[in-house]
Structures are given as C-alpha cells and as structure tokens.
Amino acid sequence: MLMYRSLILLGFVLSMNCLIAQTSPSVIKNQLGTIVNRDGFRTYLDTFTLNSVRDYLLDEFSKHSPAVYLQNYLVEDRIYSNVIALVGDTTLPRIIVGAHYDVCGNQQGADDNGTGVVGLLQTLEQLKDYESKDYCIEFVAYTLEEPPFFRSEKMGSYVHAQSLYKRGVEVHGMISLEMIGYFSTEKKSQRYPLGILKLFYGGKGDYITVVRKMNKGKFARKFSRIYKQSKTIKAKKFTAPKSLPGIDFSDHRNYWRMGYDAIMLTDTAFYRNANYHQPTDTIETIDFERLAKVIDGIVLTLSLI
C-alpha cells in the first residue's frame, strides 16, 4: 500500500512539475546582485548596509504578501530586524521558510547566504496566492546568524522561534535555506564530516542536500520524500545525530531547540564550497541554473505538502 501511494504521489508530482512557475536564472542573478553588490557589507557592525538590505527585503516581501512586518530586537544598543511575511490562513498551523541575510566579515556572502535569501524571495513570490486548508506559510529573513552571535540567543532565528513558542503558535515544520547555489561536477569536490560517507553519497558536489536529525518528525520525512521525487534537481537526504559537526550549523537549530520539526536545505557549505566565510564568496561562483532548479523544487514541494 505504501509503495502504491508513493507511485501515485510521484505521478502527481511529475505532472505538477510541468505546471508550476519556473524560476528564471537571470532574475535570481539580478536579485542576488542587488543583495550582495553594495558599498558596505551585511555584518552586525555595518548596520547601515545590513539595514539597507533589510529594507530591500521588506519592500520585496510587501509586493507579494498583505501581512508583512519587522521583528525588531535590541543587541548591544543596536536594533536588528527579522523580516516576516505570511501567506494563507494565519489561524492555521504554520510552515516556516527562513534564510539569514547577514554575512560573516567583509565579504559579499553570495552563497552564504545570498542564495538562501534569493530562494526565500522567489518562493514567496511564486506562492503568494497559496491557499491550504491545513497550513499557513511564514517567510522569515533572519538577522545575526553569523558569528559572534551564532549559537546564542541573539540569533534572529532564536528570537523568532522563541516568539512562536511563547505565543503557542502551532508549527508544522521549518525549512532553513542555507547556501543553496554552489555546485561542482569535479571529482573529490565533495567532502564529509566522516570519510566513510563518501561511499554512500559520492565525491562530486553536484547535488542539494536535505539535512535531518535523528528522530525526525512527519514534516521532515514528507518534505524530503516529495522534494526528492520532484526530480527538479539531484537531491540527497542526510540524517544524522545533532552532535555530528555541521548538521545544526544554521537557523533550523533554534527550531529544534523549541521542539519543532525542522530541516536544512543546503549545498553542504564548507564541506564543498572553499569560499565559505572568505572574500571569494562572490556572485561569479554561483550556478544559477542549478539554483533555479533548487527553488523550483521548494515551490513544488510546498505546493503538495
């Protein structure tokens, strides 16, 4: 029976794949350029540049959602902001889609995490008319994911996840978009926290990864299954304990902390991309054709989940 249901779902996914709006590589390249090509850098110290990107995101969110707001909070006498947009019936349980817009140091941060933010913008635009009897989708652009605030309660994702928990908002699941635009077909371009994993996942960094923790919930299982079956791009599921290095290195960690089901969609960051946290993390290194397909998979999966 399970196999039968999977075959039906796969057929539906493939038919829907022909109908959904296709993400334009040229459009997302322009969006990424708007985010990264600035006089300053999106660091916690350069609040002028960080806030100029915040305002750009607020404007873009407002084009596609009637419910947009800033979640402001104070850190070291400076105000920082998450940018939030909702689509669908807000009385229903929520699916959170998030990506951080700050960077680590004086760098463009094209992949980390400009690509995640572009994925957020495109997913919101394509799902702006989302209607479901089961879920509302909440899109969040986080601030302060990077050091020195990483793993602290000053992370924008911690502030957001805690606010949901304190208000008793029912969260069906969360997706963290963390570096989704760097790919390589070269041999030995993919590394792993444990060498033996290469036997299972291969040595080429030509895929996107759905990262899940052990004891994953219904949302994580369903999202990863539909995403893989959509075949918009080569995708692999990775499940490991939270103690494995890298598995919690993004905003989903704070939803796990609040007891919510969450996954990370990623190109595996420093296990593949040598430009991680370097000035070489530039727009020229991004594979926009594959990035567009990653986003198409997100849109399709959320349409079916």
CATH number at residue 28: 3.40.630.10
pLDDT at position 7: 45
What is the spatial distance between Cα 103 and Cα 29, in angstroms, rounded to a whole number?
18
Domain count, the chain: 1
Evaluate if residue 243 carries a pLDDT over 90. no
Confidence of residue 8 (pLDDT cuts 50, 70, 90): very low
Which one-letter amino acid corresponds to residue 22? Answer: Q
Contact 87, 130 (CB under 8 A): yes
Contact 107, 278 (CB under 8 A): yes
Residue 202 phi, psi (nearest 5): 85, 170
Q: Is 2 left (phi over 0), alpha (psi -120 to 50) or beta?
A: alpha
Q: Which two tokens stand for residue 273?
A: 């991309």
Helices (H), 71-217: 116-126, 156-167, 198-201
Q: What is the pLDDT of residues 145-186, one digit of tens each?
A: 999 999 999 999 999 999 999 999 999 999 999 999 999 999
Q: Where are the beta strands (DSSP E) in the chain?
A: 67-75, 78-87, 94-100, 136-142, 171-178, 208-213, 235-240, 262-266
Evaluate if residue 5 carries a pLDDT over 80. no
pLDDT at position 24: 97
**Hey, which residues does 265 pair with through a beta bridge?**
177, 210
Q: Are strands 94-100 and 171-178 parallel, antiparallel or unpaired?
A: parallel
- Mean of per-residue pLDDT scores for the chain: 93
Contact 38, 53 (CB under 8 A): yes
Contact 53, 101 (CB under 8 A): yes
Q: Which two tokens stand for residue 67?
A: 């419910």
Mean pLDDT of 203-222: 94
3-class SS at 12?
helix
The percentage of the chain sitting over the pLDDT mark of 90, rounded to a whole number, equals 86
Mean pLDDT of 193-220: 92
Mean pLDDT of 59-86: 98
Mean pLDDT of 134-146: 98
Question: What's the domain range around 94?
Answer: 2-304
Mean pLDDT of 53-66: 98
Angle CA(30)–CA(289)–CA(17) in degrees, nearest 5? 110
Instruction: Give me Rg for the CA atoms of the chain.
Output: 18
pLDDT at position 1: 47
Please tell me the pTM assigned to this model: 0.93
Taking each continuous run of H as one helix and of E as one strand, the counts in the chain are 9, 8
What is the spatial distance between Cα 157 and Cα 251, in angstroms, rounded to a whole number?
6
CA atoms within 13 A on the CB side of 128: 14
Q: Which two tokens stand for residue 50?
A: 């960080």
